[in-house]
Structure 1
């Protein structure tokens, strides 16, 4: 078994589950996503015996690793919206060229029983452009995709490319669209505002304010790391997952203000500050998980309240997880950065 992006937040969580049941997946990662401290917190690094440090655009390496795999999980990606916008060359290398390299290797390898693509809920964009912007959206797998950024556009392409390359080759595949995954081990990156649980917890731990754009009325579907990893592992063997596109979420919309309230319950001195709604900032929505719960015989177990409590405990006992750039931020710098990012959206 092969996990590309195996040293990442989701990849390492999937690896833990597979190791626990006696599997020994091979990991492929170039270790560019995180600093060494974060990799250590995720339980990996250059000395990890299951890890091969390499590039998914390395044709020879990828072919060799895929040739030894019966299942392939493709989780490698340059995965922040802001990072893709500021570094489009790296975005293209990782999200397009790298995905193509992996898919061609799978198409050429009869021994691969199933390929699992980790896409993203960002392919839905803001949903129906004619709907009330203050209406909470319900995203279903069969609705039109409307990507709003380079990262989401690349994932739409990856979904179609998966079908167009693997179906004619007779390779089985499943496409997964995770919503807002969070949990212990998640270390925020700049320009990744969807990682709000991690950011709010770390800001509160540092005694900083929690900024609520639009009063925190925006909503997200927050899926705990272990629940997401379980769904990924189930997708490897579930017969009904063959050829399917599946949402991974909880089916529940949680407001950003509610997240702030849960975080403040652990850091009661934390101040919450309302800020204006950035231009073109969608209210957000939730996943329709009817198909995924049926196909995978899976149901998320960890509530947002419990998940945030677990994340707070992890940050409290692992202060080194808080990155230097986040320590240096101020309330004003955060508002400026958010407004700048939102204004650049189509």
Structure 2
């Protein structure tokens, strides 16, 4: 059942797996503003009560079902009551997947399979949206077809995932295409680049979340460590822009069966982020540090297809977005996790070294 041009989301039931997370809660707000009826499924394993409260959810949230995406009867019941499904649930940090591959496989592979099979069996679902990641590009293809495309990731280029997290997302993309194509179900795959914004609370070892990390470490008076000298390139896209793009993606017919980058098309180095944060915290010390294992050198998104299909572009520039995040942290100092307060520069560098996987 492909969405039609006249479709809107008024009264539509939208299931968001991982709905209590950073992107899930932003999407929930955007869907409610569009007149939809969002329903959240989340195990609440990613964040503690303080962060969940900051994200506007928790165990007393009437729209939240606390449960596991591997619980097949539960997932099938929720999918059977949905018009659209957005699959955002994942064991989502590179460090977390590397140190605990068993959980990564259970969540990102087995859990995704459970959700997809439920969607394939439910004729009511109009579109399934998979949130993948720009990490599937790795460092990028070794030889780009055109010199001007260097430093830009396009949806059809060679993929080279560098870590377990990225590899699991690449598998999820393929499984989505294969299973839902056979079932003749509509789907769209989205590859968000570096999502950031108010509500983002770093996880241990998640070195790529540099806007949140640099802001919080600067607020604590700690050093801003630039892995690889901060030369990595990122395409930072604001959380609210990502939510808006997902909402548009649900009902636009041209998005059917497509894979789309979600980015701004603007290159920003990690060092530039640190320097921008330091404007708010002039005493913050910027220090070079070794490159994190399995951390992509990065590039920005080719947004040509995204703009054409969604008839949309992000509205928040990275400078404005960082300013908004800094103000959020200043107004919500309890957002800074206790583990960050206890860290030192040496402990952070040691944690970033190539982690040893947990034995299976």
Normalising by structure 1, we get a TM-score of 0.95
Question: Which of these residues, 127, 136, 141, is aligned with residue 114 of structure 1?
Answer: 127
Match of 1:246 in 2: 260
Match of 2:206 in 1: 192
CA RMSD of aligned residues (A): 1.6
- Answer yes or no: is the 8 Å Cα contact 2:99–2:355 preserved in 1: no
Match of 2:347 in 1: 333
Match of 1:311 in 2: 325
Q: Which moved more, 1:271-280 or 1:286-295?
A: 271-280
Match of 2:80 in 1: 67
CA distance in 2, matches of 1:64, 1:277: 45
- Answer yes or no: is the 8 Å Cα contact 2:162–2:294 preserved in 1: no
Measured after TM superposition, the shift of residue 213 of structure 1 is 2.5
Q: Which moved more, 1:330-339 or 1:144-153?
A: 330-339
Is the counterpart of residue 175 in structure 1 residue 184 in structure 2?
A: no
Could you list the runs of 5+ residues in structure 2 that have no partner in the other structure?
Answer: 1-13
Match of 1:4 in 2: 17
Measured after TM superposition, the shift of residue 277 of structure 1 is 4.5
**What is the number of equivalent residue pairs in this alignment?**
339
Match of 1:203 in 2: 217
Measured after TM superposition, the shift of residue 219 of structure 1 is 1.2
Q: Which moved more, 1:331-340 or 1:186-195?
A: 331-340
CA distance in 2, matches of 1:108, 1:278: 42
CA distance in 2, matches of 1:324, 1:277: 25
CA distance in 2, matches of 1:277, 1:94: 28
Normalising by structure 2, we get a TM-score of 0.91
Match of 1:288 in 2: 302
Is the counterpart of residue 155 in structure 1 residue 169 in structure 2?
A: yes
Is the counterpart of residue 58 in structure 1 residue 58 in structure 2?
A: no
Partner SS, residue 340 of structure 1: coil
Is the counterpart of residue 142 in structure 1 residue 156 in structure 2?
A: yes
CA distance in 1, matches of 2:150, 2:273: 17
Match of 1:31 in 2: 44
Measured after TM superposition, the shift of residue 339 of structure 1 is 3.5
1:165-207 residue CA offsets vs partner (Å, 9 max, x unmatched): 1111111000000000000000000111110000000000001
Inter-CA distance 338–129: structure 2 relative to 1 (3 Å threshold): farther
Match of 1:259 in 2: 273
1:62-97 residue CA offsets vs partner (Å, 9 max, x unmatched): 111100101000000010111111111211111011
Inter-CA distance 52–291: structure 2 relative to 1 (3 Å threshold): same
- Answer yes or no: is the 8 Å Cα contact 2:98–2:355 preserved in 1: no
CA distance in 2, matches of 1:136, 1:285: 8
Measured after TM superposition, the shift of residue 119 of structure 1 is 0.3
1:8-30 residue CA offsets vs partner (Å, 9 max, x unmatched): 00000000011112211111111
CA distance in 1, matches of 2:116, 2:229: 43
Measured after TM superposition, the shift of residue 321 of structure 1 is 0.4
Partner SS, residue 270 of structure 1: coil
Question: Which of these residues, 194, 216, 225, is aligned with residue 239 of structure 2?
Answer: 225
CA distance in 1, matches of 2:305, 2:123: 28
Could you list the runs of 5+ residues in structure 1 that have no partner in the other structure?
Answer: none
Inter-CA distance 20–209: structure 2 relative to 1 (3 Å threshold): same
Match of 1:123 in 2: 136
Match of 1:215 in 2: 229
